[in-house]
Amino acid sequence: MNILDFIRPTENKVNPDSVAVIQNDKEITYNEINSSVEKTSFFLKNVGIKENDIITLLSNNSLEFIVTVLSLWEIGAVPVPLNVKFLKKNLDEQIEFLNSGCTIKSKEFLNFSAPGKNLFIPFDDLLRKAILPGNKEKKGQRNFSNLLSRQTEEKTALILFTSGSSGKPKAVMLSFENLIQNALTGNKVLNQTKEDKWLASLPFYHIGGFSIIFRALMFGASIVIPTSLSNDDLLGSIKKHQPTLASLVSNQLKKFVKENFIPNIELRTVLLGGGFSDKDLILKAIKKGWKIAKVYGSTETSSFISFMNYEEMKKKPQASGRVISPNKIKITDTGEIAVQSQSVMQGYFNNKEGTEEKIKNGFYYTGDSGHLDNEGYLYVEAKRTDLIISGGENINPFEVENEISSHSKVKEVSVVGIEDKEWGQIVSAAVVLKENKKLTENELKNFLRNKLASFKIPKQIVFINDLPKTELGKIFREEVKKLFNKE
């Protein structure tokens, strides 16, 4: 089957002169995007990028990022956006794991030297030539539908990294079918049109941010890209460009509510994901005019598969919505949430065992526990067993433990996530020192600064004599959590 068959039923006849991206107060049309893709893909081919190549990307949210992804799809290559907050050693590990032969980076990361071939694309010069006013698309040139039509449903479109509990890197492979089906089912509740404006309020290297690109292009909407993802820049973009759709994590929403910011009336839906959500925050935000829609999903499901609007949120603020048809959710005998959907990943890159552990008999086993009420609303009772989600960032506690354990004075350590109203969870470490050794909290934090990204460094550290363990010698993490003050 051809990818075009998936989108013909809902394809909007987009005016090529309609606005595709708004960046730095400049409006870039679909026509100009297409012209940029033609030039950029030609450039990439000339430097040796070919079909099925895995290409890592290091860039903040930008027009250049979007053009690069579309250009790689034009060639048939597979883009892998990397987390720009990671330390170089983390990025190197991911690039080597993928055996990526090329890293494309924007000017902010010009000095970053990755393993293998490093390609700095002179975006400023290239795009200046590509999107000059009057640079119209020639008749018969590509558009988003035509670009997708050259791909097949099973072809890998994208690889995104997500943290796993094993400590090994897990790279989620998403096909074009996965992305398209998620966009189509999502539109049953979003009802996007060509008149919509999506605020690019989450990083493009996360599925929540990347899905904004795909949804907007599929339905002919515009993407508003703020100068940065700081609160001031996000609020400035909301005030100036009056978006109709946005996606936030709880930490962002809390800051907006704290500043008593009232959103524009056109902002009809704000997706809220990224971990536990404080029901008091949600109700307060709704009262201030934020039309919050709670969603549940993950990288492995290509974004959200359940949804509830702000009217439903008033009645069930702790729920995560109802599953969107034809997606299905079941709760196993052990209380685990399992998902059946055409948007479930192809699998983990180079990790057959991990894939088979998660995908069984057509269902993706999330590792989250929860239940469904008698009206079909999903309640997520616990996130992935060990994964910490802080400010929308996924943090692998085992990575943090490994770095702390490398300190010469540390005997044992357990890292857990403690619920926090501002961040969702905060990284917390219980540390056992070697006999007759002394170490302070500040000394340990300073030791970690060159080993971990700042958001992974524990905000709370306690020193104890022994870690609580089960009779089998495994660390009892629920008991570790009781060591921390939750106030």
The whole domain housing 401 covers 388-481
Q: What is the pLDDT of residue 69?
A: 94
Same domain flag for 329 and 222: yes
User: Is residue 117 pLDDT above 80, yes or no?
Assistant: no
Reported as a single tens digit per residue, the pLDDT across 337-385 is: 999 999 999 999 999 999 999 999 999 999 888 899 999 999 987 555 6
Same domain flag for 400 and 349: no
Same domain flag for 239 and 262: yes
Reported as a single tens digit per residue, the pLDDT across 222-268 is: 999 999 999 899 999 999 999 999 999 887 888 899 899 999 999 99
Residue corresponding to tokens 């032969």? 101
Same domain flag for 392 and 350: no
Same domain flag for 108 and 30: yes
- Smallest Cα–Cα separation from 218: which of 133, 303, 129? 303
Query: Using CA atoms, how far apart are residues 2 and 11, in angstroms rounded to an integer?
Result: 15
Q: What is the pLDDT of residue 12?
A: 54
Angle (CA) 130-134-139 rounded to 5° is 80
Domain containing residue 168: CATH number: 3.40.50.12780
Reported as a single tens digit per residue, the pLDDT across 310-348 is: 999 888 988 999 999 999 999 999 889 999 999 999 999
Mean pLDDT across the stretch 128-144? 47
Q: Is residue 487 assigned to a domain?
A: no
Mean pLDDT across the stretch 16-36? 90
Same domain flag for 259 and 165: yes
Same domain flag for 256 and 393: no
Provide CB contacts within 8 A for 482, sequence distance 6+: none
54-84 per-residue burial string, b: 16 or more CB within 10 A, e: under 16? bbbbbbbbbbbbbbbbbbbbbbebbbbbbbb
- Smallest Cα–Cα separation from 181: which of 269, 288, 291, 305? 305
Same domain flag for 413 and 370: no
- Smallest Cα–Cα separation from 467: which of 455, 479, 457, 456? 479
- The DSSP annotation for 27-83 comes to EEEHHHHHHHHHHHHHHHHHTT--TT-EEEEE--SSHHHHHHHHHHHHHT-EEEE--
Query: Using CA atoms, how far apart are residues 106 and 122, in angstroms rounded to an integer?
Result: 8
58 beta partners = 105
**Domain end: 382, 399, 425, which one?**
382
Angle (CA) 418-450-165 rounded to 5° is 40
Same domain flag for 308 and 406: no
Reported as a single tens digit per residue, the pLDDT across 397-421 is: 878 988 999 999 999 899 999 998 8
Same domain flag for 364 and 411: no
Higher-pLDDT residue of 279, 278: 279
* Number of domains making up the chain: 2
Q: What is the pLDDT of residue 115?
A: 72
Reported confidence tier of residue 276, pLDDT bands at 50, 70, 90: low
